Amino acid sequence: MSEATAKTTEAKAGAAFEPRIAAFVCNWCTYTGADLAGTSRIQMAPNVRVVRLPCTGRIDPMFIIKAFERGADGVIVSGCHPGDCHYSAGNYHARRRFAIFREIMSFIGIDPNRITFSWVSASEGRKWGDVVDETVSRIRGLGPFAGYKNLVEKTHAGA
Amino acid sequence: MTRQMFISESALKSLAEELVKAGTRLVGPARERNGDLVYREASDLGEIELGGDPPTRSLKEFFLPPTEVLLTYRQKQGDVEVTPAPHVFAPLVVIGARPCDAAAVAAVDKVMDWDYHDELWFGRRLATTIVSVACGGGDASCFCTAVGLAPDSAKGSDVLLVPVEGGFHAEILTEKGEALVKAHAARFTEGGKAEAAKAYRDAARGKVQANLSADPAKIRAFLEAGFDHPIWKGIALRCHGCGACAFVCPTCHCFDIVDEPDSIERGTRRRNWDTCQAAKFTLHGSGHNPRNEQNCRIRQRMMHKFAIYPARFGEILCTGCGRCIRVCPGGMDLLETLDKLGRLPAGAPAEAKRGAP
Amino acid sequence: MQELRELAKKLLAEGAVKVVVGYAEGRQGVRPIFAATPEDADKLIFDPRCVQNLATYLSPRRAHVAALGKLAVVVKGCDAMAAAGMIREAQRKRDDFVLIGVRCGGVLADPRASAAVTEATVAARCPGCEVREPKIVDHLLGPLPPAPPGASALDARIAELDAMTPEERFAFWTSELAKCVRCNACREICPMCFCVRCVCDKSQPQWIESSPHARGNLAWHMTRALHQAGRCVGCGECERACPVGIPLSLLNRKVARVVAERFDYVVSDDPEKPAPIGTYRLEDDQEFIR
């Protein structure tokens, strides 16, 4: 690669960093809230891909790991406010699980700021837009998370 | 006829320096940060321990890595485009290999060139020169002499060094060994010190022989007739099925091939180590598992190493390195099992009284 | 010692159990014995080399052991917690087995070592142990030895890691986990890894990459640490079983501390106390949730 091309590629890469964000949301509150944001024409960053699940209680932290493995720069996990769970307590269980998972990530040395946890109800279209915008701008600040995906290269000699 | 030479300690150090300078990878038993002795790349002979403790892991990972890429694939409008992994087999010289580890590589060569010629294995094999150092007799887990080897076996080595006063008696065993000597001719002196080496070799053999004397032929005869022998029923009680034995074994070579998708269109096919000690190893898609509990899996391990592989390839798939014993968290002891099997008569199952394992 | 042997013989003679799982002298150090006869019972011992967690043999995954019939198991405090854990999580019933508790003053790190328990030789998990006299047991034997000396080296190491920058911690863990060959010894030996089908063995979809590369290893060990939250009894068997020497106890102990701080739950040998995962409190902290 010539120096000139290298520079252009670099500049392109720098300018083109658009965070890729996976959002795991519950069907009953956040997904409906995100729907409301859409029908209300609320403007928000377009970087988020939403995965709908029945409940935050169904969101296994493995989903987050998988998202990072497949190249996500950030993740949003969102569901019903405490007391609002369609299944009574799924979000309380999820809350415990994610509290521990965050600490494990942090102890391993992965910045927990890569993940946003939020409660967004079906009526909080505006809040969903804020959560998305805030997450995108935070991840933009943290930069790409290729280090995780490319970990595969740091492995046994000869592999 | 093997050529006998002598190399002093300082000459060996210079030889290693020359190798590194020429860009050859130098591997030998060296300490890790946590104090474990493992075969790893070294930049200087000073890092390498030529004797002493047995390395915790074997040499096999340099020929069959725990994971390696076989190919990458990409789907394009119904077609699949496959790109073989670009493997480069860089020259490698192992200095200080244990004779049991060198012998293991030679034993595994047979299966790797059987119904399929494994290019990756042999690519690395051809690029590697193994300089072994005769072992001083190991520890209480060693039993190489009971499987037809010895602490100074030449099998699998290109050069065998035997420690003598001031350096090593060197036996040049193969063409690769000759090539190494030729490339560093100034480091060697003709003649060897076979006389001086003899005392060391005899002492080491005697030490290992004291651990176990068993007749592999007798064990094989028992295994071939004793598949249903009651001894197998309690053989694995303390075994956890963890498979650590197979992963540290220099001769265990089973692998699993997996596809790791990056997306729906693209992915990587890898080859990873696997073990017959894992419950999932023989699990059928139907849910049936012919080796449904640990006793069967241990029997399989014994059968494969001491009967099936010898029948097919004329080699025992065990070099008596003792790693499986050292590493076992449940206290399983292959040496003890071999001793027990060697005492059982071949043929009809005896009415075995189940003692405490 | 004699007390232990007599009890084992009595249990076997009365037919209360078929086998007593305990410790015996092996060719190299102490190892488990499955004593079914009075002669075997006479081989039972207990001393600081009795490192192994024998409660693991109660795991429903040990079909070849379960086939022997009812077991009595010799347990230290940490082992008793594992037996309690299996009951708590509905894997076994209390009446399925007999527990022979032994009062413990700490063990060595290696069952093949031979030394007195001192600050230098004691297993890292032992100092500060609070279950030296297990309560769940059917029999409790021996005098209570002095408490294990010193402070846990694990706590000191965790403090060091906590003080590092995230980048340094990441470098530390990726280099440790890069050694992992995915033999799964840590899982197989763990008394609390009782799932008949582990999530990492599922291949459709393959949640956890089975390849022993740094990324698959990280996914496996993070998932394992999470699944051990509120379960791990801290017996350290995973680390002892690891053939490549990954310091798994650091991760487990860190998670145990998080659980203690956030949910006020410490793993004990009380099978009635509900596990922290699977339960919740309305007032659990949620400072990390927007």
Partner residue facing B237 (CB), from C34, C181, C203: C34
Those residues whose C-beta lies under 8 Å from the C-beta of residue A71, and which sit 6 or more positions away, are: A20, A146, A149, B262
pLDDT at A146: 79
Question: Are A158 and B69 in contact (CB < 8 Å)?
Answer: no
What is the per-residue pLDDT across C3-20, written as a single tens digit (0 to 9) for each? 999 999 999 999 999 999
The arithmetic mean of pLDDT across residues A10-31, rounded, is: 83
* Adjacent-strand bridge partners of C144: none
What is the per-residue pLDDT across B321-336, written as a single tens digit (0 to 9) for each? 999 999 999 999 999 9
C-alpha–C-alpha distance, residues C161 and B357, integer Å: 42
Q: Cβ distance B201 to B151 under 8 Å?
A: yes
A chain contacts of residue B124, beta-carbon cutoff 8 Å: 158
Q: Cβ distance B250 to B60 under 8 Å?
A: yes
Query: Residue B109 to residues B63, B64, B253, B306: CA-CA distances in angstroms?
Result: 10, 11, 10, 17
Question: Are A97 and C215 in contact (CB < 8 Å)?
Answer: no
Closest-approach residue (CA) in chain C for A135? C290
Output the six-digit token pair for C206. Answer: 């393959």
Closest-approach residue (CA) in chain A for B261? A70
pLDDT at B33: 82
Cβ-based interface (< 8 Å): residues of A facing C: 60-62, 65-66, 69, 82, 89, 92-93, 95-112, 116-119, 131, 134, 148-149, 151-156, 159
Partner residue facing A156 (CB), from B67, B124, B263: B67
Gap from B78 CA to chain A (nearest CA, Å): 23
C285 or B52: which leads in pLDDT:
C285
Partner residue facing C63 (CB), from B141, B275, B293: B293
A157 CB near a chain B CB, below 8 Å?
yes
C-alpha–C-alpha distance, residues B45 and C54, integer Å: 44
What is the per-residue pLDDT across C178-231, written as a single tens digit (0 to 9) for each? 899 999 999 999 999 999 889 998 888 889 999 999 899 999 999 999 999 999
pLDDT at A9: 46
Partner residue facing C288 (CB), from A92, A99, A151: A99
C219 CB near a chain A CB, below 8 Å?
yes
Q: Cβ distance A36 to A123 under 8 Å?
A: yes
C-alpha–C-alpha distance, residues B267 and B261, integer Å: 4
What is the per-residue pLDDT across C215-226, written as a single tens digit (0 to 9) for each? 999 999 999 999
pLDDT at B347: 59
C-alpha–C-alpha distance, residues C91 and C84, integer Å: 10
Best residue in B67, B69, B257, B338 for a mutation probing chain C (most C CBs within 10 Å): B67
Gap from A15 CA to chain C (nearest CA, Å): 25
Neighbours of chain C (3+ CB pairs under 8 A): A, B
The label of the residue with tokens 């996990």 reads: A77
C-alpha–C-alpha distance, residues B244 and B275, integer Å: 9
Partner residue facing B56 (CB), from C34, C68, C243: C243
A chain contacts of residue C286, beta-carbon cutoff 8 Å: 82, 95, 99
pLDDT at C66: 93
pLDDT at B349: 54
Band the pLDDT of A158: cuts 50, 70, 90. Answer: very low
pLDDT at B9: 95
C chain contacts of residue B329, beta-carbon cutoff 8 Å: 52, 185, 189, 237, 240-241
pLDDT at A2: 41
Output the six-digit token pair for C39. Answer: 């002669």
Band the pLDDT of A150: cuts 50, 70, 90. Answer: confident
A chain contacts of residue B41, beta-carbon cutoff 8 Å: 157
Helix (H, G, I), strand (E, B) or coil at C288: coil
C-alpha–C-alpha distance, residues B248 and B243, integer Å: 9
Neighbours of chain B (3+ CB pairs under 8 A): A, C
pTM, two decimal places: 0.91
C-alpha–C-alpha distance, residues B22 and C238, integer Å: 42
C-alpha–C-alpha distance, residues C123 and C153, integer Å: 9
A chain contacts of residue C212, beta-carbon cutoff 8 Å: 155-156
A150 or B314: which leads in pLDDT:
B314
Q: Please, what is the average pLDDT of chain A?
A: 88
C-alpha–C-alpha distance, residues B156 and B154, integer Å: 6
Closest-approach residue (CA) in chain C for B292? C63
C-alpha–C-alpha distance, residues C240 and C182, integer Å: 15
Partner residue facing B67 (CB), from A70, A71, A155: A155
Band the pLDDT of A3: cuts 50, 70, 90. Answer: very low
pLDDT at A159: 40
Residue type, C30: V
B chain contacts of residue C29, beta-carbon cutoff 8 Å: 331
Inter-chain contacts counted by CB atoms under 8 A, chains A and B: 21
What is the per-residue pLDDT across C59-99, written as a single tens digit (0 to 9) for each? 999 989 999 999 999 999 999 999 999 999 999 999 999 99
Closest-approach residue (CA) in chain A for B41? A157
Question: Are B273 and C63 in contact (CB < 8 Å)?
Answer: no
What is the per-residue pLDDT across C93-119, written as a single tens digit (0 to 9) for each? 999 999 999 999 999 999 998 888 999
Output the six-digit token pair for B9. Answer: 């300690």
Per-residue pLDDT of chain B (357 residues; tens, 9 = 90+): 589 999 999 999 999 999 999 999 999 999 988 888 999 999 999 999 998 888 999 999 999 999 999 999 999 888 999 999 989 999 999 999 999 999 999 999 999 999 999 999 999 999 999 999 999 999 999 999 999 999 999 999 999 999 999 999 999 999 999 999 999 999 999 988 999 999 999 999 999 999 998 899 999 999 999 999 999 988 999 999 999 999 999 999 999 999 998 888 999 999 999 999 998 899 998 989 999 999 999 999 999 999 999 999 999 999 999 999 999 999 999 999 999 998 887 655 555 444 455
Question: Are C173 and A108 in contact (CB < 8 Å)?
Answer: yes
Please say if the pLDDT value at position C232 is more than 70: yes
Residue type, A4: A
* Adjacent-strand bridge partners of B117: B113
Q: Cβ distance B329 to C9 under 8 Å?
A: no
pLDDT at B353: 46
A153 CB near a chain B CB, below 8 Å?
no
Closest-approach residue (CA) in chain B for A66? B262
pLDDT at B354: 47
What is the per-residue pLDDT across C133-147, written as a single tens digit (0 to 9) for each? 999 999 999 999 999
Helices (H) and strands (E) in chain A, counts: 6, 4
Inter-chain contacts counted by CB atoms under 8 A, chains B and C: 123
Band the pLDDT of A157: cuts 50, 70, 90. Answer: very low
Please say if the pLDDT value at position C253 is more than 60: yes
